[in-house]
Amino acid sequence: MGEQPIFSTRAHVFQIDPNTKKNWVPTSKHAVTVSYFYDSTRNVYRIISLDGSKAIINSTITPNMTFTKTSQKFGQWADSRANTVYGLGFSSEHHLSKFAEKFQEFKEAARLAKEKSQEKMELTSTPSQESAGGDLQSPLTPESINGTDDERTPDVTQNSEPRPEPTQNALSFSHSSAISKHWEAELATLKGNNAKLTAALLESTANVKQWKQQLAAYQEEAERLHKRVTELECVSSQANAVHTHKTELNQTIQELEETLKVKEEEIERLKQEIDNARELQEQRDSLTQKLQYVGTVSCIILLYVQLLYIPTDFSR
């Protein structure tokens, strides 16, 4: 059957900057298809993504890998074989969760496949080791191969054919030596792979520590920005309150100015009324004086008339 896709989704693909090991570098201009592939022949799971004809992700899933969600729509994992860190930006949190579930599922399948392969190798190696051990239990001495002196004398005298046992022991010895060399080579290979895996694990651990530090720094920066936004919102609300209070004060001042203007007009009107009252008072005083003068004149006239009539009476 070969390698077949078993799950696909779409996402924006990123790789960590190899120089800074901090910044993300986009490897696709738009969302591309990211697929899980399964190779039934080798029992291997891979993540593959193509941008046109260019492979921008080719990552084999191992039991040591970890997929980390760094936000609601972004996740990442480290690939020690490719010596890079891949990042995927999804369109929704649901797509991210689905991809993470599949990653964990196929990672567990890869772990089980590795364990089964190791068990199979152990089962294959155990009979060979037992057979080799059985052959090597009796030491291979010259006597065991060629026989003792007592055994060799009859063979020579009787001129009989050689015994088959020494030939079989020799073949067993050479066979066990070949098996021993084979397993020594396998052991060396396993030691080398173990060293590589240990180095990859240490590198992944260092990367995880670095990512945790970056995450802590991002969280601190987010908290600082959140506090700054809160402060700006408070300042904005205070500014709005000050603006509202200023508007109210301006309205109050305008009302007071209008009231003052009305009062000034009323004062002017009262001043005019006072002036008019003074004029009327002066006119009244003038008329009073005139009336007093007229009264005085009238009294004088009456007296004069009376005086005119008095002599007439005396003559009588």
Q: Please state, in angstroms and as integers, the Cα–Cα distance from residue 308 to each residue in 204, 295, 296, 315, following that order.
A: 151, 20, 18, 12
Give the per-residue pLDDT at 155. 42
Query: What number of helices (H) and strands (E) belong to the chain?
Result: 4, 8
- Cα atoms in the 13 Å half-sphere on the side-chain side of 233: 6
| Residues recorded for the chain | 316
Sign (positive/negative) of CA torsion 128, 134, 136, 141? Answer: negative
Neighbours of 21 (CB within 10 A): 13
Residue 173 is classified by DSSP as H
Residue 43 is classified by DSSP as T
* Contact by Cβ (8 Å): 110, 93: no
CA dist., res. 283 & res. 294, Å (int): 16
Q: For the whole prediction, is pTM greater than 0.85?
A: no
Buried-exposed string 188-205: b where 16+ CB fall within 10 A, e elsewhere? eeeeeeeeeeeebeeebe
Longest Cα–Cα distance of the chain, Å, equals 238
Spatial CA neighbour of 80 closest among 196, 193, 211:
196
What is the residue-wise DSSP string for 217-279?
A: HHHHHHHHHHHHHHHHHHHHHHHHHHHHHHHHHHHHHHHHHHHHHHHHHHHHHHHHHHHHHHH
Give the per-residue pLDDT at 167. 41
pLDDT in tens, 158-197: 343 343 344 444 444 455 566 677 677 778 878 877 777 7
* Cross-strand bridge partners of residue 69: 75
Give the per-residue pLDDT at 202. 80
Spatial CA neighbour of 25 closest among 66, 81, 86:
86
In tens digits, what is the pLDDT along the chain, a chain of 316 residues? 578 899 999 999 999 998 888 899 999 889 999 999 999 888 899 999 998 888 999 999 999 999 999 999 999 999 998 899 999 999 999 999 999 999 999 999 988 888 887 777 777 665 544 444 444 344 444 343 344 444 343 343 334 334 334 444 444 445 556 667 767 777 887 887 777 777 777 877 777 777 787 788 888 888 888 888 888 888 877 888 888 888 888 988 989 999 889 988 989 898 888 888 888 888 888 888 888 888 888 889 888 888 887 755 545 4
